[in-house]
A and B are shown apart, each in its own frame.
Chain A
């Protein structure tokens, strides 16, 4: 009796255990046993962000993942299959545009990707039937989608440029669109790309200026707004300057007129003035007001630069020789700050505004230079003092030596 009760309890327990096991995903089970393209999704999907969030193939493709027969992929059972290129945005947006659904996974996640995409050049062209343009999967991947924060993701900030370049740098693929294909190459030479390469993830890449889902080239009039999202002060000064109206009148695209667009290199002071490297002389000619102002600004910046270099040189020599000049070095950072502010104020294109700052910098650098010169004078006087002291010491040692010899010679006699 006791044995039969145990047997029944074991059967009941195993039945209960079987009912508690997770349902089998027949999509993965069958596709992983296949070969080629039909097997690829099941292998890639394991690392996919959707799989990590607990979603299955059927959550996107429909069908019945519990059915082990081919009926699992019956359209009658809701199987949607693989979407065509022009169906992709709506396919993804089924979930990604559903705030209530998406916030179950991440309350901060945006759900406007589709609406933004439809405003983009890519979205508009796709609607018109151009299937060469980028849709969701072209940038994010298909069954191997990774979070943006994952360094392997094609949309991770450091990878964005090469993801865009995949199409935009291919002259054959881009043929017929009438846009250049050297943006990525030029961007790689920019100060922005250099910062990104150094690990500064806040440095701009393609999507920072063009938008991501709503990707569109900034128009001539909105360039300053794009640059101004980061370079706030420069844009504010530019907007108050005489160039604002002049550029608008001449149809110049703001910042990029002087700084270029994709190949935005680190600016140098020689860009201002009348030297061959200057960007001012592309519009201004000798004798006009802008030309004179550019020359004055260039002279003032050069003055401050040479004052700074002179002070730094003398302080470095003093420091190398062991003199305590840390206060003077700290003060010199104020002169460096003045140089930075003067360079920002170049965007006022007002030579008097720039001179106010360069003059204050020159004054501070002058004081630091004097402190360095005083330190070197002090170093020299210390060395002279040492020389005199050493002569006295050598004389004392010589005197002692003679005294000992004299004393011991007397004793020996």
Chain B
């Protein structure tokens, strides 16, 4: 077995230098400190992304993206296709868990200041990946064509329509017309299975390449302790020590996913009816709730701007600040933790949690 492995590696090495990859993995190490637990969140997010790709492909075998067939095809998957219920439930639960772990990953990177030089591009690619994951969530939510998703998409795209100047164009672009119709469904399907996966693949490759190239960051507090002689630098080999630990996280995620899918199968609801009245308490997926609730609290006019537009403008500006944090948090480059950015992070988490809880009341 070992000979076959060696022969294959030699064959590949002669063709594109695979030996250097093996060499790289053999010598790659991962820093060990009291914050190492957070290093596994990225791996779990990647694992859930792979689950999404696999279950998504299986759903594609039966799903039909038309208003007449979409709901029925998902119903067929859940009731007639062998293990279809499991695939669909895992896809839905995994989507939510993936966005949750991606948020946890992002905030752990933020508070451990792992975005500091030279990892600015890793941060940028990661944040863009998170935006793409939110896009996956938004576009995928409509695909079962049920009442809740239909009206939530209506509300969501209406928000985009309130952007002055390009709002009308943006609304028509997203909906494929003035209203949420079959054109919206096929459009969202296209985004969900072609456009976003393409973008995600490129960004994910870039993100992983940068992580491998630059290695994992050591938090400033640990760096300082080492520099002051209060601690000694510790590490473990990436292969197999870290990878095996990663696998424990993946198995745990798989167990949680299986449990959720079997005990709380994802609901299908009732088929969307464009002529029916919107059900009471319509709201978007949990990860958009804080924005939805904030826009609800805003007055109709803020200075000379429409309230909703001012809110969207505020979120846009906040997102821009968040994306550019590695370039704004200049002092961190010198190994000093800036209290302002830590406070900002705590405020953002508090804001998201409180506003989401208010929306769920």
| A-side contacts of B266, CB under 8 Å | 322
Interface: B241 (CB within 8 A): yes
Interface: A11 (CB within 8 A): no
* B128 CB, min distance to chain A CBs, angstroms: 33
Proximity bits, A396-410, B CB within 8 Å = 1, else 0: 110011011001100
The reply to whether B244 and A324 form a contact with Cβ atoms under 8 Å apart is no
Interface: B78 (CB within 8 A): yes
Cα distance A43–B85 in the bound complex, in angstroms = 72
- Contact-size category for A: 20 to 34
Contact of B79 among A327, A393, A408 (CB under 8 A): A327
Q: In residues 381-407 of chain A, which contact B (Cβ within 8 Å)?
A: 382-383, 385-386, 389-390, 393-394, 396-397, 400-401, 403-404, 407
Interface: B75 (CB within 8 A): yes
Proximity bits, A364-390, B CB within 8 Å = 1, else 0: 000000000000000000110110011
Cα distance A58–B248 in the bound complex, in angstroms = 96
The reply to whether A326 and B258 form a contact with Cβ atoms under 8 Å apart is no
The reply to whether A324 and B241 form a contact with Cβ atoms under 8 Å apart is no
The residue in chain A whose Cβ has the minimal distance to the Cβ of B249 is: A397
The reply to whether A407 and B255 form a contact with Cβ atoms under 8 Å apart is no
Interface: A118 (CB within 8 A): no
Q: Decide: A386 near B247, CB < 8 A? Known: A326-B268, A397-B252, A407-B240.
A: no
The residue in chain A whose Cβ has the minimal distance to the Cβ of B84 is: A324
Proximity bits, B239-274, A CB within 8 Å = 1, else 0: 011001101100110110011001111111010000
Proximity bits, B202-216, A CB within 8 Å = 1, else 0: 000000000000000
A-B pair number, CB within 8 angstroms: 56
* B36 CB, min distance to chain A CBs, angstroms: 13
Cα distance A389–B261 in the bound complex, in angstroms = 12
Interface: A323 (CB within 8 A): yes
- Contact-size category for B: 20 to 34
Cα distance A408–B32 in the bound complex, in angstroms = 14
| A-side contacts of B244, CB under 8 Å | 400, 403-404, 407
Q: Decide: A397 near B265, CB < 8 A? Known: A324-B79, A407-B241.
A: no
| A-side contacts of B245, CB under 8 Å | 400, 404
Contact of A386 among B240, B251, B263 (CB under 8 A): B263
The reply to whether A393 and B263 form a contact with Cβ atoms under 8 Å apart is no
The reply to whether B252 and A408 form a contact with Cβ atoms under 8 Å apart is no
Contact of A322 among B79, B255, B264 (CB under 8 A): B264
The reply to whether B263 and A397 form a contact with Cβ atoms under 8 Å apart is no
The reply to whether B255 and A326 form a contact with Cβ atoms under 8 Å apart is no
Q: Decide: A326 near B241, CB < 8 A? Known: A386-B262, A390-B258.
A: no
Q: List 19 A-B contacts (CB under 8 A).
A: A322-B266, A324-B268, A326-B75, A326-B268, A326-B270, A382-B85, A386-B262, A386-B263, A389-B255, A389-B258, A390-B258, A393-B258, A394-B255, A397-B251, A400-B244, A400-B245, A400-B247, A400-B251, A407-B240
Given A322-B264, A327-B75: 12 more A-B contacts, CB < 8 Å: A322-B267, A324-B78, A326-B268, A327-B79, A386-B258, A386-B263, A390-B259, A397-B248, A397-B252, A400-B248, A404-B245, A407-B244
